[in-house]
Amino acid sequence: MISRGRWWAQAPCHADRRQRAPGPPEYFTRSGGWLRYETSEPTPEGRVMKIGIIGAGNIGGNLTRRLTTLGHDVSVANSRGPQTLTDLAAETGATPVTVEEAARGAQVVVVTIPLKAVPNLPSGFLDSAAEGVAVIDTGNYYPQQRDGKIAEIEDGLTESRWTEQQIGHPVIKAFNGTYAQDILDKPQPKGTPGRVALPVSGDDEDAKKVVRDLIDAIGFDTVDTGGQDESWRQQPGTPVYGLASDTDAVRKALDSASRERTAEWLA
């Protein structure tokens, strides 16, 4: 996960920081001293969804901000417990919960934690989710910078395929190459020329549609990368990683990717 903030230097997204939500002036109104993002865009299929977010760092925090402004019922959890999420809850209206509770009744669950922490997720944490839950994986393998060596990934398994094996459920890979601040800064109405597109991969076509519709409502186009065995095209070090551009540019970046990891992204 890439993070970038207007009010702090670029840094790994594991750092929790409360932040205001800047963006196009026409989309903001002042409320309680904070700039709050507001939108008239409909939620996917015109329905409010119950969404669980596991991880409240830069990506998880800004997804919480964006999804609550769209009217979704968001529960958010982190490894330190719900008592550490009171500021985010007060700002957004999201419900702070334990990791074990985050998926309860959820139609969408976002797993946005360091890859090395994925095996520590509670066994069966998705058992209480809604039938057909779509699980979004935002993770990246940072062996030198954070995660240490994961042998299966070093041997060629894609990051999200490895995550699927750890949690026992298919995932949709999305937001892994997105700057966290872009989630707040760059949403645009559907059909806007140059609208930023995000790559999305996964094997479950129904779940992928749910996620792509949700991303569309958040304010971005999407490009289908293919199944999880093709998700290496959006891993760190590839041309699309960190790219904030339109669908044509994203497709070209995906097509030009090389499967071979560079030394920076190997243990």
75, 94 contact by CB (below 8 A) = yes
**pLDDT of 45:** 53
Res 46: pLDDT: 59
Q: What is the pLDDT of residue 146?
A: 97
pLDDT the model gives residue 52: 98
pLDDT by position in tens, the chain (length 267): 544 332 222 223 322 323 333 333 223 322 333 333 334 344 555 579 999 999 999 999 999 999 999 999 999 999 999 999 999 999 999 999 999 999 999 999 999 999 999 999 999 999 999 999 999 999 999 999 999 999 999 999 999 999 999 999 999 999 999 999 999 999 999 999 999 999 999 999 999 999 999 999 999 999 999 999 999 999 999 999 999 999 999 999 999 999 999 999 999
d(CA 265, CA 236): 7
* pLDDT at site 17: 29
Residue 68 gets the label, from left (phi > 0), alpha (psi -120 to 50) or beta, of alpha
Residue 139 and residue 159 in contact, taking contact as beta carbons nearer than 8 Å: yes
Question: Which pLDDT does position 38 carry in this prediction?
Answer: 39
Residue 53 CA: distances (Å) to CA of 97, 154, 221, 243: 10, 28, 21, 24
For 74, residues 6+ apart whose C-beta sits below 8 A from its C-beta are 51, 52, 53, 64, 67, 68, 92, 93, 94, 95
Q: Which residue's entry shows tokens 């702070």?
A: 96
Give me the pLDDT at residue 10, please: 26
Task: Retrieve residue 177's tokens.
Answer: 């190459």
pLDDT at 22: 32
State the Cα–Cα distance between residues 61 and 138, nearest whole angstrom: 13
DSSP 174: -
pTM of the model: 0.85
Angstrom distance (rounded) from CA 64 to CA 22: 15
Q: Return d(Cα 89, Cα 95) in angstroms, integer.
A: 6
For 15, residues 6+ apart whose C-beta sits below 8 A from its C-beta are: 3, 57, 58
